[in-house]
Amino acid sequence: MSIQTNRLSRRTVLRAAGISLALPWLESLAPRSGLANSTVPGAMAASVDAAATMPQRMAFIFVPNGVHLSDWTPRREGYGYDLPHILAPLAPVQEDVMVLSGLTHDKGRANGDGAGDHARSASVFLTGAQPRKTAGSNIRSGISVDQVAAKAAGHATKFASLELGCEPGRSAGNCDSGYSCAYSSNVSWSSEASPLGKETNPRFVFDRLFGDGNSGMRDKDSLRREALKKSVLDFISEDARSLHSRLAANDRRKLDEYLGGVREVERRIERTDDEPKVSIDVDYPIPKGTPDDYAEHIRLMCDMIVMAFQTDRTRIATFMFADAGSNRGYRHINVPDGHHDLSHHGGDAKKLAKISEINRFHVAQLAYLLKRLKSTSEGEGNLLDNSMICYGSAISDGNRHNNENLPILLAGRGGRSIDAGRHIRVAPETPMCNLFLSMLDRFGTPVDFIGDSTGRLPGLTI
Amino acid sequence: MQLAGGRVSCVSGDEPATPITKLIEDLKSVELETRRDAAYELARRASDAAPAIDALVVTLGDRDEQVWMQSAMAVARIGSEATAAIPALIENLGDRDDQKRYRAAWALSRIGPDSIEPLRQACTSDSSQRRAGALDALGWMTDVGQDQLDKLVETLTVALRDDDQRVRRQAALSLAKLTPASTAALALALDHGDADVRSIAVGGLAKLDEIPNNVNYRLSELCSDSEPPVRAAAVVAIVNSSLDHAQVMRKIEQALIDSDEAVRSAGVLALKKSGDSAAELLPKLVGMLRHDDSRSAAAFALGSMGSLAVPAIDDLIAAIKSQQDDETEIAEALRRIGPAVVPKLLRASADPEQSVQQLAEVIAMLGSEAVDGLIHAVKDDSMAVRLGAVVALNKMRPVPSSALQPLAATIDDASPEVREAGIIALGNFEKLDDDLRARLQSLCHDDRPAIRSAALSTLASVDGDKSSIASLLGTALDDDDALVRRRAIESFAKIGDAAQESIEKIAAAMSDEDVEVRRGAATTLGTMKDAARGSLAAVISLFTDDDASVRVAAATTVGSIAEAAPETASALATLLADDDTDVVLAALRSLNVMGAHASPSVEQVVGLVKHDAVEIRSAAIACLAKIEPDASKSVPLLIESLGDDDWTVRRDVASALGGLGSKAKSAVAVLFKMLDNEQDRDAVREALRAIDGADASAVPVLIEGLNSDDRRQRFYAIFLLGKVGPDAKDALPILTQMRDESESDRYKESYQKTIDSILGK
Nearest CA in chain B to A318: B1
CB B411, CB B423: distance < 8 Å: yes
CB pair distance less than 8 Å for A188 and B10: no
pLDDT value of position B679: 75
List of chain B residues whose C-beta atoms are within 8 Å of the C-beta of residue A161: 2
Smallest CA–CA distance, residue A248 to chain B, in Å, is 27
For all residues of chain A together, what is the average pLDDT? 84
Smallest CA–CA distance, residue B32 to chain A, in Å, is 12
A91-125 pLDDT per residue, tens:
889 989 999 999 999 999 988 888 899 999 999 99
pLDDT value of position B265: 84
Percent of chain A as helix, strand, coil, to the nearest 5: 40, 20, 40
Nearest CA in chain B to A191: B9
pLDDT value of position B484: 96
List of chain B residues whose C-beta atoms are within 8 Å of the C-beta of residue A182: 8, 10
List of chain B residues whose C-beta atoms are within 8 Å of the C-beta of residue A429: 98
B47-92 pLDDT per residue, tens:
899 999 999 999 999 988 899 999 999 999 999 999 999 999 999 9
Q: How confident is the model at residue B595 (pLDDT cuts 50, 70, 90)?
A: confident
List of chain B residues whose C-beta atoms are within 8 Å of the C-beta of residue A462: 232-233, 236, 266, 269
ipTM field:
0.74
Q: How confident is the model at residue A229 (pLDDT cuts 50, 70, 90)?
A: low
CB pair distance less than 8 Å for A91 and B367: yes
Indicate if the pLDDT at residue B8 is higher than 60. no
Which segments within B310-357 are labelled E, that is strand?
A: none
List of chain B residues whose C-beta atoms are within 8 Å of the C-beta of residue A419: 236, 269
CB A17, CB A210: distance < 8 Å: no
B499, containing H or E segment = none
List of chain A residues whose C-beta atoms are within 8 Å of the C-beta of residue B1: 159, 162-164, 198-199, 204-205, 208
List of chain B residues whose C-beta atoms are within 8 Å of the C-beta of residue A454: 98-99, 101-102
List of chain B residues whose C-beta atoms are within 8 Å of the C-beta of residue A431: 99
Smallest CA–CA distance, residue A249 to chain B, in Å, is 26
Smallest CA–CA distance, residue B700 to chain A, in Å, is 25
Nearest CA in chain B to A455: B102
pLDDT value of position B724: 93
CB pair distance less than 8 Å for A421 and B304: yes
Indicate if the pLDDT at residue A9 is higher than 50. no
Of B378, B380, B381, B402, residue with least CA distance to B391: B378
CB pair distance less than 8 Å for B102 and A455: yes
Indicate if the pLDDT at residue A47 is higher than 70. no
Smallest CA–CA distance, residue A110 to chain B, in Å, is 10
Q: How confident is the model at residue A370 (pLDDT cuts 50, 70, 90)?
A: very high
**Residues 6 or more apart in contact with residue B542 via CB below 8 angstroms:** B510, B518, B522, B550, B551, B553, B554
CA distances from B738 to B735, B752, B755 (A): 5, 10, 11
Q: Is B521 left (phi over 0), alpha (psi -120 to 50) or beta?
A: alpha
CB pair distance less than 8 Å for A196 and B2: yes
CB A173, CB A131: distance < 8 Å: no
Nearest CB neighbour to A449, from listed B3, B66, B106: B106
Pick the residue with more confidence: B147 or A218?
A: B147
Sign, CA torsion B580/B583/B587/B592: positive
List of chain B residues whose C-beta atoms are within 8 Å of the C-beta of residue A196: 2, 6-8
Indicate if the pLDDT at residue A284 is higher than 70. no
Q: What SS3 class is residue A381?
A: strand
Mean pLDDT of B154-163: 96
List of chain A residues whose C-beta atoms are within 8 Å of the C-beta of residue B265: 77-80, 422
Indicate if the pLDDT at residue A35 is higher than 60. no
Backbone φ and ψ for A411, nearest 5 degrees, come out as: -110, 155
Smallest CA–CA distance, residue B610 to chain A, in Å, is 26
Nearest CB neighbour to A419, from listed B98, B103, B269: B269
Q: What SS3 class is residue B18?
A: coil
Nearest CA in chain B to A420: B269
Nearest CA in chain A to B204: A462
pLDDT value of position A292: 81
pLDDT value of position B663: 93
Q: C-alpha B561: how far from its chain's center?
A: 36
Q: How confident is the model at residue B461 (pLDDT cuts 50, 70, 90)?
A: very high
Q: How confident is the model at residue B622 (pLDDT cuts 50, 70, 90)?
A: very high
Q: With pLDDT > 90 as the criterion, what percentage of chain A qualifies?
A: 49
Distance from C-alpha of B45 to C-alpha of B48, rounded to nearest angstrom: 5
pLDDT value of position A409: 98
Nearest CB neighbour to A197, from listed B6, B265, B332: B6
pLDDT value of position A214: 61
**HEC secondary structure over A246-293:** CCCHHHHHHHHHHHHHHHHHHHHHHHHCCCCEECCCCCCEECCCCCCC
Q: How confident is the model at residue A1 (pLDDT cuts 50, 70, 90)?
A: very low
Q: How confident is the model at residue A246 (pLDDT cuts 50, 70, 90)?
A: confident
Mean pLDDT of B275-299: 86
List of chain A residues whose C-beta atoms are within 8 Å of the C-beta of residue B369: 92
Q: How confident is the model at residue B12 (pLDDT cuts 50, 70, 90)?
A: very low
B413-454 pLDDT per residue, tens:
999 999 999 999 999 998 999 999 999 999 999 999 999 999
CB pair distance less than 8 Å for B746 and A421: no
Smallest CA–CA distance, residue B443 to chain A, in Å, is 31
Indicate if the pLDDT at residue A215 is higher than 80. no
pLDDT value of position A203: 87
Q: How confident is the model at residue B13 (pLDDT cuts 50, 70, 90)?
A: very low
B683-729 pLDDT per residue, tens:
898 899 889 899 999 999 999 999 887 777 888 899 899 999 999 99
Mean pLDDT of B254-283: 87
Nearest CB neighbour to B1, from listed A190, A205, A455: A205
Nearest CB neighbour to B269, from listed A79, A164, A190: A79
pLDDT value of position A37: 34
CB pair distance less than 8 Å for B233 and A208: no
pLDDT value of position B255: 92
Indicate if the pLDDT at residue A52 is higher than 70. no
**HEC secondary structure over B699-757:** HHHHHHHCCCCCHHHHHHHHHHHHHHHHHHHHHHHHHHHHHHHCCCHHHHHHHHHHHHH
List of chain A residues whose C-beta atoms are within 8 Å of the C-beta of residue B101: 454
B374-425 pLDDT per residue, tens:
999 999 999 999 999 999 999 987 888 999 999 999 999 999 999 999 999 9
Pick the residue with more confidence: B3 or A152?
A: A152
Distance from C-alpha of B572 to C-alpha of B588, rounded to nearest angstrom: 8
Nearest CA in chain B to A95: B304
Q: With pLDDT > 90 as the criterion, what percentage of chain B qualifies?
A: 66
Backbone φ and ψ for A437, nearest 5 degrees, come out as: -60, -45
Distance from C-alpha of B255 to C-alpha of A346, rounded to nearest angstrom: 45
DSSP class of residue B512 equals -
Distance from C-alpha of A186 to C-alpha of A164, rounded to nearest angstrom: 9
pLDDT value of position A50: 47
**Residues 6 or more apart in contact with residue B649 via CB below 8 angstroms:** B614, B617, B618, B621, B641
B210-250 pLDDT per residue, tens:
888 889 999 999 999 999 999 999 999 998 888 899 999 99
Smallest CA–CA distance, residue B577 to chain A, in Å, is 30
Nearest CB neighbour to A78, from listed B3, B6, B262: B262
CB pair distance less than 8 Å for A454 and B365: no
pLDDT value of position A42: 36
pLDDT value of position B43: 93
Which segments within B391-487 are labelled E, that is strand?
A: none
Name the β-bridge partners of A377: A382
Distance from C-alpha of B32 to C-alpha of B64, rounded to nearest angstrom: 8
Smallest CA–CA distance, residue B647 to chain A, in Å, is 17
CB pair distance less than 8 Å for B102 and A419: no
Smallest CA–CA distance, residue A252 to chain B, in Å, is 27
How many cross-chain Cβ pairs, A to B, lie less than 8 Å apart?
Answer: 125
Mean pLDDT of B586-594: 93
